[in-house]
Chains A and B, each alone.
Chain A
Amino acid sequence: MSALAAWLLSEAPQSRRQASLGRFFRGWLQLRRNHLAIAGLAAALVLILVSLFAPLLATHEPAAQNLTERFAAPSAEHWLGTDEVGRDLYSRLLYGGRITLGMVVAIMVLVAPLGLAVGTVAGYAGGFADRALMRLTDIFLAFPRLILALAFVAALKPGIASAIIAIALTAWPPYARLARAETLTIRNSDFIAAVRLSGASAARIVLRHIAPLCVSSLIVRVTLDMSGIILTAAGLGFLGMGAQPPMPEWGTMIATTRGEILDAWWVPIAPGIAIFVASLAFNLLGDGLRDVLDPKQG
């Protein structure tokens, strides 16, 4: 381990890979000192694992109803009790994690490339294309995210796919701005001039030489954005515009049972805690990452 650490921390890396791995390792060492960030990382990992292995961990079929056992209190049989049609709350929460994380991943997959494309093209092309694309970005940035997502979902049709598209449509502008800013610093560097001199087309320069360099900062931004996306998705579900019942989406589960809060408070509150823990995990992790990468931002 220490030999590996020494190799990673070497002041004179022998290869590009050693240098980048070393930088990564130094960041990790710094992150490790932040206990809150590590707690967040651990919670996020648990969340991901639990979602992946939900079928193994669940004690009941998440959709199995049992009308004789509605709103049962937590017991050995039902660890967190049952909901309005006697479904096992614990099992539904596990499957809910799959939906939430699945939505987050889908949104990221849509948003990051879109933002990257808009930002790098605007930054590299400059001139009119830059102004037009950035104006478009500003317009979308000037919208309140949840409100616009609500209107989009209303125009499509309430459901998971619409929610994903709606959140993605409102989430890409910061990525475009970030990618543009990165592109502006890269485009005038010597190696780009060298590539251009050797006859590479603009498309090749953007795709092969600029875009890959923007990816790492986009990934950090993604981590910072996760909790916001989790909250927006849950909010859409709560307002009845996200995943539809009987899907075990956390926000939707709260919406369908919030009227029962007087008789069985744990039924709407348990998914609420799940949303809070998921969102907090990514917030803690993102906060620690920001400290490592940009110490000035408290």
Chain B
Amino acid sequence: MSGTSDAGRLPARFRASLSSLASVPITLFGLILVTFLIGRAMPIDPVIAIVGDHAPPDVIARVRAELALDKPLPVQFWIYLEHLARGDLGNSVMTSRSVTTDIATFFPATLELATTAILIAILLGLPLGVFAARYQGSRFDHAVRVVSLAGQSVPIFVLGLLCLLFFYVKLGIAPGTGQQDVLFEGMVREVTGMRVLDAALAGDWDAFWDALAHLAQPALVLAYFSLSIITRMTRAFMLEALAGEYIVAARAKGLSDARILWRHAFGNIMVPLITVIALAYAGLLEGAVLTETVFSWPGIGLYLTGSLLNADMNAVLGATLVIGSVYVGLNLLADLAYRLLDPRVR
């Protein structure tokens, strides 16, 4: 057509992926700016929080200068960015350690909880959605619909409390709150910070089963919400796929029902499902805050709410920034998966 050659150009979808990659720094910058501004808008004076109410004025002035709080806002932001680049999120008043260390301690527990939950949600949600679509309008379909609507309506912290009440208090078949029985505290060497994994690595099977039992309840509670989303979206995608002409053609060829369902229809909805799953995984971070509070699960959500109640601002902002970044990362993953795997997106 025109004189320009396409040979040197990147394929369109890779260029699109690059542009969505390029938008990440802007989004992250926005995230950092917003958390910085929230921190500066705080009614708590960080200087007083460090030196106390009764410190002499010259001490207050010196600390204020040390924290660069006497400088104009843009300068303060630049200093904040510099610290951030070194991985320095400031010190926590509550734990009197650096926030970065704290988060590194608390994050694996959340990762363990959220990953288990998303695996449960995928393993249950995909078949439920596929069969609900296959038997659309049946009693099974209606039951799935009610169960998933209930999952999107139930406050996760109420569900958690109910589970504790029934399985722990009334029936006595589940362990209580926390990540592990106190009996095993400090018995297993921490490698990943994920207790189930650590116990398995150490070959301590008593600790392993105990950690797994502690994990089961919060993970199931947390899984319910994403299970609802994954089920509903799988059903919707499957309905669309099953209405396709290629399905009619496959039927005409005499292929078995299972083969049509799983290979032809399901095979075609995997890409949008990956997007849905990545977004659901990101959404679990929110649910984790509430679930961890109910089950005293020592993850980043519990750290965040604990710091909130103690007005420990560096910790609050650090945790917000980390959770936000993971969220942005998962969003990007969802976007990239879609662009790279689906040949129709160009």
Contact = CB atoms under 8 A, between A and B. Distances in A.
A297 B146 CA distance: 16
Nearest to A149: B286
Q: Which of the four size classes fits the interface of chain A?
A: 35 or more
A139 B26 contact: yes
B161 A147 contact: no
Interface stretch (B8-16, B45-53, B305-313): B305-313
Contact of A283 (B153, B282, B308, B320): B153
B327 A144 contact: yes
Nearest to A241: B308
A25 interface: no
B289 A142 contact: no
B226 interface: no
Nearest to A271: B158
B331 A272 contact: no
A42 interface: no
Contacts of A234: 155
Nearest to B326: A144
A275 B305 CA distance: 21
A262 B294 CA distance: 14
Contacts of A298: 133, 232, 235-236, 239
Contacts of B150: 276, 280
A239 B289 contact: yes
Interface stretch (B33-41, B58-66, B88-96, B194-202): B33-41
Given A150-B308, A298-B236, A298-B239, A144 B282 contact: yes
A251 B294 CA distance: 13
A227 interface: yes
Interface in B266-280: none
A155 B36 CA distance: 11
A287 B289 CA distance: 27
Interface string A244-261: 000000010010001001
Contact of A36 (B30, B146, B239): B146
Interface in B296-346: 304-305, 308-309, 311, 313, 316-317, 320, 323-324, 327-328, 331
Contacts of A61: none
A290 to B, nearest CB: 10
Contacts of A148: 34, 320, 324
Interface of A: 36, 135-136, 138-139, 142-148, 150-152, 154-157, 227, 231, 234-235, 238-241, 251, 254, 258, 261-262, 265, 268-269, 272-273, 275-276, 279-280, 283-284, 287, 296-298
Given A144-B285, A155-B43, A280-B154, 7 more contacts: A36-B145, A139-B30, A142-B331, A157-B43, A235-B290, A296-B240, A298-B133
